[in-house]
Amino acid sequence: MAATAATTFSVASVSYGSQGSKSKPFNFRFNSPNYLKSSSGLKAAGSVKCESGASFFGQDSSAALRSSFAVRAEKQNKEVALLGAAGGIGHPLSLLIKMSPSVSALHLYDIANVKGVAADLSHCNTPSQVLDFTGQAELGNSLKSVDVVVIAAGVPRKPGMTRDDLFNINASIVKTLIEAVADNCPDAFIHIISNPANSTVPIAAEILKQKSVYNPKKLFGVTTSSDLQGLTEYETKALDALKPELKSSIDKGVTFAQKKETPASV
C-alpha cells in the first residue's frame, strides 16, 4: 500500500489560561492518497484534518472541528452535448468546451454533418473525447449519459426578419430537441442559446413539465451574446463617426512622409 503524503503547516499559536502562559501550535495536516492536481480553480480530491492536543473549542468539539475542514471531492469528468454544433455559434463554442479541464466527453450533434468539426477538435491537446452525431436518427444517442446539454441549434436572425419570424422557425426546433433531452437525459443541466431565448426557454419548461422532469434549477437561457452584439453595434457607430478625423490624420501623415522622401531641388 502506497504511503500517504502529508504536509503540515503551523498557521497560528493558541494560548489558553488567564495569564496566557501556556500555548500550543495549532496545525493543519493535509493528507492525500493521490497526486494533487489543480487547474483553473478546480478543487483537487483530498481530505483536510485538524489535529490539536487540546482543542481551544473544548474537548468534545474536536471531532466537529475536524469534520468542518473536510473537503468533498467534486466530479470533474462532465459529459457535454452540444446540439447545433455545426452552426455559427456552435462551431466556436465547441472549441471552448473542448478546452475545458472539467469535460471528459463532448458530444457534437447537428442535422448537418459534424464529422469535420469533430476532426478539427480532435487535434486539441486535451483529454476530453469528441464524438459526432448527425441527423435525427442519432439525436437520442448523442444525449445518452450526458450531464450538460447546450442547445445552439436554429437559424440566426436575418435582415428584415422580426422576432416573431424567428420564433416561428426556432420554436419547433427547440421543441424537438427538448423532447429528446427529456427522454434520454432528464437530469442534465440545459442551456438554451437559440433565439428568441425569452420565448424558447418557456417552451422548454412546458415540455419538461409535460414529461414530469422539470427542474427550474437546471434550465437556463443564455443571452450574453445578444448583449455583446449590442455593444459591438455601438462601437461600430462610434468608429463610423471617427472615420473622417482618422482619414484626415492618415492623409497628413502620408503627405509628411512624401515630403521627406522628395529630394531638395538644387
pLDDT at site 250: 81
If asked whether residues 201 and 87 sit together in one domain, one would say yes
Task: Give the domain CATH number at 171.
Answer: 3.40.50.720
pLDDT in tens, 150-203: 999 988 888 888 888 888 899 999 999 999 999 999 999 999 999 888 889 999
If asked whether residues 12 and 47 sit together in one domain, one would say yes
pLDDT at site 17: 46
Give residue 139's domain range.
Answer: 78-226
pLDDT band (50, 70, 90) for residue 221: very high
Look up the pTM and report it. Answer: 0.59
pLDDT in tens, 45-72: 444 444 444 444 455 555 555 555 554 5
If asked whether residues 143 and 123 sit together in one domain, one would say yes
Has residue 231 been placed in a domain? no
pLDDT at 95 over 80: yes
Has residue 40 been placed in a domain? yes
Has residue 263 been placed in a domain? no
Residues 186, 211 contacting (CB under 8 angstroms): yes
- Average pLDDT on 111-126 reads 92
